[in-house]
Structure 1
Amino acid sequence: MTTETETPARTPRSWLREHSEIGVSLLLLLLGVLVLTDALTMDVDITQRGPVGPRTVPVVVGIALLLVAVLLAVDVLRGGRGEAEGGEDIDLSEPSDWRTVLLLAGVFLGNAVLIDPLGFPISGALLFWGSAYALGSRHYDRDPLIAAGLSLLTFFVFNNLLGVPLPGGPLMEVL
């Protein structure tokens, strides 16, 4: 008496699901090619003294990305799998919180649109307050004050101490 065991049909989709790390390998390969292309086509006007020039680090990084991409692909094709992170307390059976994601995306997009006309101090305050709101904070009296303080502190650190000019907007014209 023989019993037949059915093996599930292997579809391309199931193979890709089992070998999803190949996508990371392809991303690293693409990034490595991009970095190498950019480094090798870089227009360098300065005369180079010694073996290390402005192309050296990008070339080394590009080659390292290509090497890691190939090693990862070989490991995955040989059956290697990444370990699940044990420290995360995320319930994967729960659906994604698209409301929060969309609120944060809207806040960042709003900051990008408002930074030129309003300047960083105002748009940054809206960014910090909007991010806190999107992530669940509902302290309507405290959050705007903290956001304004963070925005002004960030503006002055970048603009005055680090020398990175940020648009000041109408608020800085008054001050």
Structure 2
Amino acid sequence: MTAEPTGSAPSEGPAGAAGSDKEPAQEQGTTTRSWLRDHSELGVCVLLLAIGALVLTDALTMSVDIAQRGPIGPRTVPFVVGSALLLVAVLLAVDVLRGGRGEAEGGEDVDLDEPADWRTVLLLSGVFLATAVLIGPLGFPIAGALLFWGSAYALGSRHYDRDPLIAAVLSLATYFLFDNLLGVPLPGGPLMGVI
């Protein structure tokens, strides 16, 4: 009867084979993640393709009731913009796949190792959503003032005496510029019934 030595190497049985199968799968996942990280600009290409397709689809389904005067109609600009977005997306994708990479900004003092400031992003998103909800019932002057003041607050301004005043002036000036001078009707809300 012979005993196996305690320091011998493990046998290449089923357990050894299972351990060797995991390594290529992990290596392939790491390689895929590494490739995606190196070609992250392709995400911008996908976004540009989606926006370009949306603009072209909207232009194709646009109903034009106005008689067209001259060669340029209301569909021309959406067609040009949508086509340009698709072209830029394709050219950017080709450049990225050939090894082109965007260079980091040299003029800004930004630490790319710092995590994203999600508090600011969420505050700004909340301000924009609140403006979209409130512009109908409150009108643009009030909703716009909340938009300007909320954006300033989210971006770090803490001048509680000055910021609301500046926001109100900007909102009213924007309202009168678009509504009266440019002829673009904006909802006035209850405030415009008073003025």
Range into which the TM-score falls when normalised by the shorter chain: 0.7 to 0.9
CA displacement at 1:30 relative to structure 2: 3.0
Is structure 2 residue 188 aligned with structure 1 residue 168?
Answer: yes
Is structure 2 residue 106 aligned with structure 1 residue 86?
Answer: yes
| Pair member with larger Rg | 2
Taking structure 1 as reference, are residues 94 and 34 closer, same or farther at Cα in structure 2, changes over 3 Å only? same
Is structure 2 residue 96 aligned with structure 1 residue 72?
Answer: no
- 5+ residue gaps, structure 2: 1-26
- Aligned residue number for residue 139 of structure 2: 119
Question: What secondary structure sits across from 2:106 in the alignment?
Answer: coil
TM-score (norm 1): 0.79
Distance 2:145 2:29 in 1: 55
Q: What is the identity, as a one-letter code, of the residue corresponding to 1:73?
A: A
Deviations along 1:132-163, whole A, 9 cap, x unmatched?
A: 22222222222221111111111111111111
Q: What is the identity, as a one-letter code, of the residue corresponding to 2:34?
A: S
Taking structure 1 as reference, are residues 51 and 12 closer, same or farther at Cα in structure 2, changes over 3 Å only? same
- Aligned residue number for residue 55 of structure 2: 35
- 5+ residue gaps, structure 1: 1-6
Distance 2:174 2:160 in 1: 22
| Aligned-residue CA RMSD (Å) | 2.7
- Aligned residue number for residue 32 of structure 2: 12
State the number of aligned residues.
Answer: 169
- Aligned residue number for residue 108 of structure 1: 128
Q: What is the identity, as a one-letter code, of the residue corresponding to 1:78?
A: R
Question: What secondary structure sits across from 1:89 in the alignment?
Answer: coil
CA displacement at 1:67 relative to structure 2: 3.0
